[in-house]
Amino acid sequence: MNHILPNKLKALYALPLAAAVLPSCSQGGESEQQRPNIIFIMTDDHTTQAMSCYGGNLLQTPNMDRIANEGIRMDNCYATNALSGPSRACILTGKFGHVNGFTDNACRFDSTQVTFPKLLQAEGYRTGIVGKWHLISEPQGFDFWSILTGQEEQGDYYNPDFNENGVAIQEKGYATDIITDKALSFIDEATSEGKPYCLMFHHKAPHRNWMPSPENLGIFNDRVFPEPENLFDDYSSRTQAASSQDMSIASTLKEDWDLKVLTREEILAGGNRLLGVYSRMPEEVQHKWDSVYAPRIAEYRSGKLKGKELVSWKYQQYMRDYLATVLSVDQSIGRLLEHLEKNGTLDNTIIVYTSDQGFFLGEHGWFDKRFMYEECQRMPLIIRYPKAIRPGSTSNAICMNVDFAPTFLDFAGVDIPEDMQGRSLKEVLENEGKTPEDWRKAAYYHYYEYPAEHSVKRHYGIRTADFKLIHFYNDIDSWEMYDEKADPREMNNIYDDPAYSAQRERLTALLRQIQQEYGDTDPDERERVLFHGDRRFIGRSK
Ligand code: SGN
Ligand code: CA
């Protein structure tokens, strides 16, 4: 019925419909005709293994868990390309990278494209983005933006620089706190105007090089985290793509940047990458930093750590820093929820928490992402909106980051452009996570950034409920296939296993069909043409 109603009428219709489905969830006192606010929280590189609501045993994330417990946890949400810029471009446009033109981090986003914030803005929403943007061109479709700049737009953890509606500014403090302050003041302004709003609330954390806040510096230094059972993976049965990457805990983590085993004197002497970020910290924080990292430096230099023991040790240091930055994000979400509760708008706000992609926390011996393996292809996705979502729901529906744009438009009662390639999740969310009959059977993936940092070969593939099929191409031509139920850690490549030949044929046919459907049929050829995306570093192409 929705598609024959004009937008405004649809918006009015949407809520009573949801309320009819979930009578116990409707909120007394608030106007049922109010269009929902949308707060889209996205972190950078936060993975489900580091969220207690996804069963992770590394740390507690009570505020994220609250969103999941009072809303829905999506268990099969996938990035279409596990890299920041590409994921963000898919989210804004509802289209895959080969269509929106942003295929790797060397691209510049064509901001003249239709995006969901532009459409919401045109329908009376106040729109804002705070934090990481990473798409290089200036944001369009936002009434307010304050986006991180520097280090090729990754921004800084301490005293970060921003582009705020076109003006360069530097803020004092810790990025996660500052971005939260900006989010809350946007919310206050929009709320006082009485307009519905859409806020993209995008943290830098927990991106490399994992610098904790002053309060959380060293907070996990007494903890020993469980190692993933495949920390010492030997890649047997996998293709050369797995063994030729450069993202291992054993050898890729840098002493200065990642492990932080430099003394103050060494940092200040220069010739290291820490100097730039260390000198942004106030002196008292530098001193806390020095004392927190001193025992680590001593241990590292004791000469006692060798071989596997050294790798295990590096894993612990990596976890301590990464998880400490996650803790600040969880605290930020706590602040947000409390703020909305106090101003009375919590239940009329769709709160989404996700990350641009997942991340390896030592699985296969790695950090970083990029591969179409489960840990980083999977995105966390939890959503709270009691007017439509029954608290405590979970869902196995296969969704992708291209679904977010149509979902937000749908909830706002705004027409979804026909050329958006994702599908609205509204129906799934309103039905306690049940997968509709005609839902897609697979998530599509395509990674392009090679040759480049971390040396992950170009590849594409599909993930169904039970299997994964991957084709690595460009300077290799090799396939991997996994039985996800029998082998969730993806250790056993069954592509050439005769017992799976029927499934292999079926999956290959499905992959080709999906590529036809999405118009992604000739990856090598398309790479030469470079469509309407504008690249900054030509060197990263062929
Ligand atoms: C930086 C990091 C990489 C990371 C990319 C992309 N290197 O270049 O480890 O893969 O960002 O990350 S660093 O030495 O500068 O820390 S993304 O999330 O933005 O795609
Ligand atoms: Ca990222």
pLDDT of amino acid 9? 38
Q: Counting atoms of ligand 1 from 1, which one is nearest the CA of 151?
A: 15
Among left, alpha and beta (phi > 0; psi -120 to 50; other), residue 298 is alpha
Give the list of residues 6+ apart from residue 506 with CB closer than 8 angstroms, or none. Answer: none
Pocket test for ligand 1, best of 44, 105, 537 (most atoms within 8 A of CB): 105
Query: What is the rounded average pLDDT of the residues 204-220?
Result: 98
Tokens of 484: 């996800």
Q: Is 208 in the pocket of ligand 1 (CB under 6 A)?
A: yes
Q: Does domain 35-210+325-430 have CATH number 2.60.40.420?
A: no
Q: Is 257 in the pocket of ligand 1 (CB under 6 A)?
A: yes
Question: 87: CA distance to ligand 2 center in Å?
Answer: 8
Q: Counting atoms of ligand 1 from 1, which one is nearest the CA of 247?
A: 9
**DSSP per residue, 179-191:** HHHHHHHHHHHHH
Cα separation of 334 and 357, whole Å? Answer: 22
Instruction: Say which CATH class 443-531 falls into.
Output: alpha beta
**pLDDT digit string, tens, across residues 257-273:** 999 999 999 999 999 99
Does the pLDDT value for residue 539 go beyond 50?
no
Q: What is the phi/psi pair of residue 401, to 5°?
A: -65, -20
Question: 201: CA distance to ligand 2 center in Å?
Answer: 14
**pLDDT digit string, tens, across residues 325-359:** 999 999 999 999 999 999 999 999 999 999 999 99
Cβ–Cβ < 8 Å for 280, 156: yes
Question: What pTM does this model have?
Answer: 0.93
Q: Can you tell me which residue has the tokens 């929009």?
A: 190
Tokens of 379: 């995105």
Q: Is 458 in the pocket of ligand 1 (CB under 6 A)?
A: no
Q: Provide CATH 3.30.1120.10 ranges for the chain.
A: 443-531
Q: Which ligand is closest in space to the CA of residue 156? A: 1
Pocket test for ligand 1, best of 43, 151, 211, 453 (most atoms within 8 A of CB): 453
Cβ–Cβ < 8 Å for 426, 410: yes
Q: Which ligand is closest in space to the CA of residue 85? A: 1
Q: Provide CATH 3.40.720.10 ranges for the chain.
A: 35-210+325-430
pLDDT band at 465 (very low <50, low <70, confident <90, very high): very high
pLDDT band at 474 (very low <50, low <70, confident <90, very high): very high
Q: What angle do CA 493, 75, 35 make, to 5 degrees?
A: 145
Q: Which of 90, 131, 51 is nearest to 353 (CA)?
A: 51
Q: Counting atoms of ligand 1 from 1, which one is nearest the CA of 152?
A: 8
Question: 45: CA distance to ligand 1 center in Å?
Answer: 10
Q: Is 83 in the pocket of ligand 1 (CB under 6 A)?
A: yes
Does the pLDDT value for residue 390 go beyond 70?
yes
**pLDDT digit string, tens, across residues 264-297:** 999 999 999 999 999 999 999 999 999 999 999 9
User: Hey, is 150 helix, strand or coil?
Assistant: coil
Q: Is 45 in the pocket of ligand 1 (CB under 6 A)?
A: yes
Q: Is 454 in the pocket of ligand 1 (CB under 6 A)?
A: yes
Q: Can you tell me which residue has the tokens 């996570």?
A: 433
Question: 119: CA distance to ligand 2 center in Å?
Answer: 25
Chain length of the chain:
542
